[in-house]
Amino acid sequence: MKFLGKVLLTLLLLLLLAIVTLYVLLQTQWGAGWIGRQVSTNSDYQLSLSKMEHDFSNPSHLLLNNVSFGRKGQPATLVAKRVNLGFGLIQFSNPLHFSSIRLEQGTLNLSEKSAPLSLQADRLQLSQMALNRNQGEWPLQAQRVDGGVIPWKPEAGDVLGKEASFQMSAGSLTLKGIPASNVLIQGSLKGRELVFSNLGADIALGSVTASAERDNDGAWNVTNLRLNSIRMQSDKTLSEFLQPFLTLPAVHFERVDVTDARLQGQDWAVTDLDLTLKDLSIINGDWQSDNGSLSMNANSFINGSMQLNDPIANMDFSAQGITLKQFSSRWVNGLVRTQGNWTRSDRKLTLDELVVAGLEYTLPLNWRDHWMQPLPSWLESVEVTRFSANRNLIIDINPDFPFQMTSLDGTGNHLLMARQHQWGIWSGDLSINAAEATFNRVDLRHPSLALNAGENTINVTEMSAFSHEGMLEGLATVSQQPQRALSLTLTGRQVPVNLLHDWGWPQLPLQGNGNLQLKMQGNLSAAQPLKSSVNGTLTLTTDDKSIHQTMVAGQVAGAQ
């Protein structure tokens, strides 16, 4: 018995010595290499490490140094200076499920398309790591990442797993090409439900904070979003810049605040923008709201040749449409002010009041082309209930027929300015007058015009102006049909005999002042010039001579 006891003791000591020897060897460079080769040979993974460490003062943890790990035939998923593996009782049944995994000073490459790692942990911790995800809808690169995920059970298409809580910070981050720094993210995930309880970052020289959540159907609810002192530059036009916001998945904004923002793109810019948006949803490129509102103001807004200074807008949203409570802006040294509503059912914009005062506006060369272009699909018609203009200067520098009106005043009532997506004067009353005007080098004093528009015609009930020592008066009608048939009667008393020459009538063999009467018909259709359609007669009488001319298709056919 004593001999058998000695043999068993000897075997036990030899086994203990072997375990100690193996324990020591595994913590050498040779042992680390042997472990890497065993994993690489007997699994679907590729592993290399420089050293493995274990300390009996913390027996449930194993340290791996200079680790490279990933699936065979693919770039390494993990490269880290140190990996701390925490063991638990669950590993007796699931060897690849750790109590904790801590990754330090390395790079973690994420891919939602490739098969997930079989590793799992009750807690995944990151310390000074880099994260890369170059595939998918939201490519991501992040540096100096600290944080954790509890628990971490990655699955195909879900890097974080089906259910987890997470908190992470990053020194710098680029998401879908947008750079940010000092990023903080806190939230949780449960199936398709995703909650960002706290999100903050420095972006575009400013800061952003937010909280939001996504439901099982993929719809987002943004509880709050605040952007402060954003300075953003883009190479996109304004419509291209706004397009991504119109193509968002279903999203509801409870509150959005923008403070002191400056945005600039291709041929547009806005400075010192303050904005508050409440209770608005965007679904399938359209907005919905039951009790929303928008308040905004800026120092300036530029879009192409248009520049608004100190614009202010306040509006309310409802299921029926938009109530424009206030819009005002300084524009070309003057003021524009209005209020009204837009109704969703008929896509009509009704301005209860429109005031323009003190403008000094030079029309763009292609303003007639803009006038003929159809309005967007969301705007079918525009009506101005009350219109008022005071002391405006309007200039057209088109070389074919330049004009200028100084101290232009006007009033209008129930003016239907657009119908079926087309600009015009489709109904209502309008009266305008100016202190002075010049039409193609012809100077006039105190020109005035009054008209009323209906379904079929525009009737000019008054048209008058002083010219040199005489006076012009006229009446006209314009058809509302596409050919825009024009009928004009113009009478002049003691006006220059060749007053009409600069307006298209041939030179007359007379001099001085005289009385004239012009009767003409033509078409103001956009498809052809006016002159080629003109038929009319001109009678002019001076103290000692009289002349009568007839025009057919823009050419004088005879004279007497």
Question: Tens of pLDDT along 347-364?
Answer: 999 999 999 999 999 998
Token pair for 418: 């657009």
Of 294-298, 432-436, 531-535, the poorest mean pLDDT is in 531-535
Cβ atoms of 368 and 336 closer than 8 Å: no
Q: What is the pLDDT of residue 295?
A: 97
Residue 33 confidence (pLDDT) above 50: yes
* Mean pLDDT across 125-153: 87
Distance from C-alpha of 453 to C-alpha of 449, rounded to nearest angstrom = 13
Q: What is the pLDDT of residue 224?
A: 96
Of 11-20, 309-318, 395-404, 477-486, the poorest mean pLDDT is in 11-20
Q: What is the pLDDT of residue 19?
A: 46
Q: What is the pLDDT of residue 539?
A: 92
Cβ burial, residue 515 (10 Å; 0-12/13-18/19+): middle
Q: What is the pLDDT of residue 63?
A: 83
Cβ burial, residue 296 (10 Å; 0-12/13-18/19+): middle
Cβ atoms of 510 and 540 closer than 8 Å: yes
Of 96-100, 113-117, 131-135, 252-256, the poorest mean pLDDT is in 113-117
- E strands of 420-484, at which residues? 422-433, 436-439, 442-453, 457-467, 470-479
Q: What is the pLDDT of residue 359?
A: 96
Q: Which long-range contacts (CB under 8 A, 24 or more apart) does 321-330 make?
A: 321/345, 324/351, 329/301
Longest Cα separation, the chain: 160
Residue 260 confidence (pLDDT) above 60: yes
* Mean pLDDT across 409-414: 97
Q: What is the pLDDT of residue 515?
A: 94
Residue 510 confidence (pLDDT) above 90: no
- pLDDT category of residue 387 using cuts at 50, 70 and 90: very high
Please, what is the average pLDDT of the chain?
Answer: 87
* Mean pLDDT across 396-409: 93
Nearest to 555 by CA among 497, 504, 483: 504
Of 40-54, 201-215, 276-290, 462-476, the poorest mean pLDDT is in 40-54
340 vs 530 pLDDT, higher one: 340
Residue 25 confidence (pLDDT) above 50: no
